[in-house]
Structure 1
């Protein structure tokens, strides 16, 4: 088998606070959990960067991706089921402000039904908007297209087509859903639970409303925890570092790690991590042996 490569970005989407860099750490957790015929599940899929990295590096046999956002779901469905048409659009679509306005109109006028057009509009805006944010964000370079980076800065056609083709080659191992998180966990998760490892990356508690179309209220965060803790399979949860989340998850060991992303301040942002069972936490020796680099620390380890 080829050597695992977690430095690659396999997702065609850009995501604020994208957790791609956690892939080797989660791969280690999956190996520690010793799950046979493993299925990796992301109930808040978004860009699915970790899921794709684990699948394409043969860490897991299948992946399950769920996103309640109809536009994001439509993007994944179009990529998997109408691959040739999706690629043709990437090849031919103009990347300019006039086309941006056209794609924004399609996105804003979306119905409750799937369509290739809606899926591609989400893809287009994700690749051309500042920080990849779909709602409440303008195009890279602004409407007057001035500055160091312009609207096509993140629209490398050939690289994006390569990613789409690579994902489509593995579509038989990808299970896609468009369900509310409660419905997904109650009605669909039992089908996979025996062989599953689940990564929960819910909408941020503090900035959720600004970043996500389907953000959570404080009550929602508590309700989701109540569902997560009852799962009969190993899981990991990551969150923004706020007291409310620490309180909700107080029954589980809390550790912090640094995530580098460009959304807010181009710097490090400490986030929280929780695991289903303390036995899953890797030792420093295990991290070193697996060549996993992560600044993971407990509550008493300093900032």
Structure 2
């Protein structure tokens, strides 16, 4: 009888069972209109594996630090959940999501398509005081696409040279952005957006066994400065977040920058950790920590933290 060769776990995602290479984000469908610092497009294949490992299909995904919303949008477009609760405290980012859920995605798409991209036009537009949520949303998209690295936090500067010397407009792809916004209409009725404290909303759903949580907090634990530099709302009680995760009735998956303080908190709360490779904006390979109650489904792909 011929010997049957066992295929490596999740080989269809990474193509190997050994230490995986960082995901090529170009292979992942781009759903979000944001060019978001700390975005999770690279994490999508791992997120899909996690969802597939759950015994029962969850009804609700709660993303307490939604930002660009890549994970929630993936879950909705791929019908991994019925509904996504997206939470974001930053009022500028929130304005974009509120514009979408309020039915103004088409208005925002048209505003992007008709805007003539010049440095002078950008400066003129951003000097205006928005009087409606959708006007604020347009200004946010404009900032996100013309500020260095898409960073909206105070102190961020305009792109100077950009791709191929195209300057301030090098990240401005009006047709692509408009299409992404219009495509959101296919799932908008399944988005529950909250401009709120993510920890508060987590507590609201903590007893629900139908909810799962994808948690990607600002990376400020262990003295890390990335969260402070990238996000307006970077302060968070990391210890309380871990305590809250311990109380969740549903499953959760959490990602963090690699830091000893984070590892120690995970150990204290009895969670499992793995290291997974990613590439930063400078294309350097780095590792992030994935934390949950059970990560056996990841064992073939990652290092122990």
Normalised TM-score (structure 1): 0.82
| Match in the other structure for 2:263 | 246
| Match in the other structure for 2:6 | none
Query: Does 1:127 find its partner at 2:145?
Result: yes
Query: Does 1:158 find its partner at 2:175?
Result: yes
Query: Does 1:225 find its partner at 2:247?
Result: no
Task: Give the C-alpha shift of residue 278 in structure 1.
Answer: 4.3
Native 8 Å contact 1:96 1:151 kept in 2: yes
| 2:303 alignment partner, one of 251, 276, 297 | 297
Structure 1 stretches lacking a partner, 5+ long: 285-294
Structure 2 stretches lacking a partner, 5+ long: 1-12, 14-25
Pairwise CA RMSD of aligned residues? 2.5
Number of aligned residues: 273
Q: Secondary structure at the match of 1:23?
A: helix
Superimposed CA distance per residue, residues 52-111 of structure 1 (whole angstroms, 9 cap, x where no aligned partner)? 1221122222221110111111111112321222122111123222233244445xx789
User: Matched residues in 2 for 1:69 and 1:61: separation?
Assistant: 25
Q: Secondary structure at the match of 2:304?
A: coil
Cα 1:105–1:229 change in 2 (3 A) is farther
| Match in the other structure for 2:49 | 28
Q: Secondary structure at the match of 1:89?
A: helix
| 1:202 alignment partner, one of 209, 217, 222 | 217
Task: Give the C-alpha shift of residue 17 in structure 1.
Answer: 2.5
| Match in the other structure for 1:96 | 118
User: Matched residues in 1 for 2:302 and 2:60: separation?
Assistant: 25
Show structure 1 runs of 4+ deviating over 4 A.
none
| Match in the other structure for 1:289 | none
User: Matched residues in 2 for 1:268 and 1:99: separation?
Assistant: 37
Task: Give the C-alpha shift of residue 133 in structure 1.
Answer: 0.5
| Match in the other structure for 2:61 | 40
Query: Does 1:260 find its partner at 2:279?
Result: yes
User: Matched residues in 1 for 2:264 and 2:130: separation?
Assistant: 37
Cα 1:99–1:249 change in 2 (3 A) is farther
